[in-house]
Chain A
Amino acid sequence: MLRDITLGQYYPADSWIHRLDPRVKIIGSLLYIVSLFLVKNYWGFGVALVYLAVVTALSTVPLRFMLRGLKPIFILILFTFVLNLLMTSGDILWQWRFLKITRQGIYNACFMALRLIFLILGSSLLTLTTKPIALTDGLEKLLSPFRKIGLPAHELAMMMTIALRFIPTLMEETDKIMKAQQARGADFETGNIIRRAKSLVPLLVPLFISAFRIAQDLAMAMEARCYRGGESRTRLHEMKFRSADLVAAVLLVLYLAAIIVIGRLL
């Protein structure tokens, strides 16, 4: 049933990584992504692998959960691999008409594929170990300095919170309306594209009306509970920078330094 969908891909656990300040995790993930582009050779990936392995072990997220994240982008990885394999010029090892495989091609293809895999695995750790709501809170805090230049940090975070809350509600609503129209003989499955697009009207019109009704009700309810924007608002979960976060930050800096040094020396 639609009720059982899980949002994002949060893996509930109470590990050292789970307990870190979301801000540290967000910045850490960003720096990790940057670091992957600083990697110049396979030694660098070795360091990244060690880092990733340590963080994964600390997070207690099972490996198969992480690997699951690779599934949807498998095609992309394959495409990148093949493209690099066939399109890089250099010492030709094999050739068939205009397709050729070169030594540099093999190197590049493996390199790019590895970079993508590391990218996905590392960044999925963020969503696996951080609740969506903590993520939005963290983003709000991190973006708040940019309020001065007109970035509506609080409003953006609020929008994300509400979206997270109402996606399941709207899914249920969609399911209900779809069934009601099917009971009146509507057919959403057969026919060509134009027919199918047309058949969505009886679904989309009530769904939009429903969404507007929810928005109206929610706005009223929020106002009744004294919502007046981000000014002077306090939070139940205060983000505190604790000693564990400091340790994490130090580890992160060490990792970055290692990547840079190895990139230079080897």
Chain B
Amino acid sequence: MEALIRTENLTFEYTRDEDELKIVACDNITMEIPAGSFTAIIGKNGSGKSTLAKNFNGLLLPTGGVCYVAGYDTKNEDTIWNVRQTAGMVFQNPDNQLVSSVVEDDVAFGPENLGVPPLEIRERVDDSLKRVHMYEERLKAPHLLSGGQKQRIAIAGVVAMKPRCIILDEPTAMLDPQGRDEVMDIIHNFHREGITIVLITHFMEEAAQADRVIVYDAGKIVLDGTPEEVFSQEAEVRARSLSVPFPIKLAGRLRNRGVDVPDGLITDERLADWLAANRKNLRAPGAAPYRESDINLKRRSGKPIIEVSHLVHIYNENLPYETRAVDDVSFTVDEGAFVGIIGHTGSGKSTLIQELNGLLKPKSGRITVDGVDVTDPKTSLRDVRKKVGLVFQYPEYQLFEETVEKDIGFGPKNLGLSDEEIKERVKEALRLVNLDYDEIRDRSPFDLSGGQKRRVAIAGVIAMRPKVLILDEPTAGLDPQAKRSILAMIENLRHKEGMTILFVSHNMGDIAILADRVFVMDRGKLAMEGTPEDVFHRVDTMRSLRLGLPPAAEFREVLTEKLAAADPEGLALLESLEKRTTLTLWQTEDLICNWLNAGSASEEGGER
């Protein structure tokens, strides 16, 4: 196949501003992207993968070696516009790449720059908008659209330039699951039409949908192959601070327990098929024992720390666009609990958490936190802030001081504490977010890495010593490794410090593992509430609320379907095992191992 993008010893070096360190983002890379292919590039933050992508369309020029796009050398100034038109680029932040305040004018921006005649621009704009399903919104202002819609407009803007290749730099990082699905569908459509796709992503499930995966680390290509080939090397992938898709993870764990699962079962379907077909011949010698029981070990009982009753919040009251963002919500949260709050964008989650912190005043209803009435106008906000800490999405955007110490000290200072005490609290907060006080205190928060910035910002809230900590998507935009360590840190706050955690997230997998209770918000109402097992077992309700499932529940669904069709007996066995034991969805590997053993045991005449 013809190579659309070809690099020969491509090298890109630059000096980082913060510490004047020389960075080699591309180290002597020779590779080809064939026309019509779908390549995913994965790698941790700072691995240089974005830099590589920007070299692919001449936004950055190699400091050594060559990069050819459709035969044009990107260094040749005369043909640079051909390069950019051939390889269009979509960026991470949907807001920061739209130029015009009218959707159709924005899509027209590229063709206008290319000097396309007005009548043809009209055709291209209409056609591109229809292809991303945004034609109806063509006269709207971008700031009124959802993230997924904005990102689709950005893609339409590139498509209107008739590119042969679209390079997408983490296009779904800032989107909710629904927006992410919309964008991935569009990407697949364009690939089917023959457009070459280069997708940079932190989501392994997205990478697994490509036909080639490149693992990039420290300016080098570490692994390169089909998703099956790459993800089968789980240890190697993990060593690069990445993770693998759920079925691969599960297969690995089954192997550890003695089940001989073959490599390359990269989708739920394939692994489920294999398990269903081979169930009777499989045994898992290393299966963990389980207890017959029906009590839920995860549920704790304690005294309630948050009590919310009949809370109502209305935006734009008495105006035509009045919205009831929170509509008669009541609940209690026990001290030391870990509550996951889920719901699609606009369901009222963020209004609710701002109410809990006293940032918004409700229309009616009552909130008490540890004895303090948040909704009482006489309560001082300072007292509320001492009880409830709120960490917003992308909290690093609120950093402003010259040093880390001063920034974290901002909250305690506002509480009116003495310098001694402030210092004490800064030290403690940094310890809790696993950063070294002496090393980091005098550094500027702006010189830190993305993950460190986020820790410092979270420390800024922890330093106020809240009893309840609310976090809104604390892992958004981080690479798998940074994500894991932030989650471990939050677990620690709860177990060691006894903080009550309210965790807002779109990541059902995280919620399933961390939370002991889940609140599901929908159109301002508390639609469901229960343990993760309760909530994620109600698959149909979850789907009707346009919410996804944790990977484990997703897999269980697929397995159930396969079994229902091919092996009803196996299905009955699985369901009874789940019902009468402590095995839950989240220890999928243990559940499956015991299921396999039970199956083969009954085959052999019930030895067990």
Contact = CB atoms under 8 A, between A and B. Distances in A.
A224 B58 CA distance: 8
A176 B410 CA distance: 17
Interface residues of A, number: 51
Interface stretch (B100-108, B200-208, B420-428, B586-594): B100-108
B84 A226 contact: yes
Interface stretch (A29-37, A70-78, A138-146, A184-192): A184-192
A213 B96 contact: yes
B227 interface: no
A79 interface: no
Interface string A200-232: 011001100110011001101111111110001
A234 B116 contact: yes
A234 B121 contact: yes
B398 A180 contact: yes
Contacts of A169: 95, 143
Given A182-B359, A227-B109, A217 B410 contact: no
Contacts of A217: 91, 93, 96-97
B290 interface: no
Given A225-B84, A236-B125, A161 B96 contact: no
Interface string A72-101: 000000000000000000000000000000
A176 B101 contact: no
Contact of A226 (B54, B105, B161): B161
Contact of A172 (B99, B116, B122, B143): B143
Given A164-B101, A184-B461, A201-B400, A235 B112 contact: yes
Interface stretch (B333-341, B371-379, B387-395): B387-395
B93 to A, nearest CB: 6
Nearest to A6: B141
A236 B59 contact: no
| Interface size class, chain B | 35 or more
Nearest to B108: A236
Among A181, A228, A234: residue with most chain B CB under 10 A: A234
A214 B94 CA distance: 11
Interface centre among A221, A227, A228 (most CB of B within 10 A): A221
A211 to B, nearest CB: 11
A179 B81 contact: no
Interface string B72-112: 00000000010011001101010111111110110011111
B199 to A, nearest CB: 16
B59 A183 contact: no
A69 interface: no
Given A180-B395, A205-B400, A224 B84 contact: yes
A235 B89 CA distance: 22
Contacts of B102: 131, 133
Given A181-B410, A183-B357, 7 more contacts: A133-B105, A161-B99, A185-B381, A186-B410, A186-B414, A222-B109, A228-B81
A1 interface: yes
B398 A206 contact: yes
B398 A225 contact: no
Contacts of B88: 224-225
Contacts of A228: 81, 113
B413 to A, nearest CB: 8
B128 to A, nearest CB: 12
Interface in B46-76: 54, 57, 59
Contacts of A1: 315-316
Contacts of B389: 183
Report the 6 A-B pairs with minimum CB-CB distance, sorted nearest first.
A185-B414, A217-B96, A221-B97, A236-B108, A205-B400, A180-B398
A258 to B, nearest CB: 38
A220 to B, nearest CB: 6
A177 B410 CA distance: 14
A165 B98 contact: yes
B411 interface: yes
15 contacts: A164-B101, A165-B142, A169-B143, A176-B397, A179-B359, A181-B398, A183-B389, A184-B411, A185-B415, A202-B410, A206-B398, A209-B446, A220-B54, A223-B59, A236-B122
Given A176-B397, A183-B359, A183-B385, A221 B91 contact: yes
Contacts of A224: 57, 59, 84, 88-89, 91
Contacts of B95: 169, 214
A181 B457 CA distance: 11
- Residue with the highest number of chain B CB atoms closer than 10 Å, among A7, A209, A233: A233
A263 interface: no
Interface in B312-343: 315-316, 321
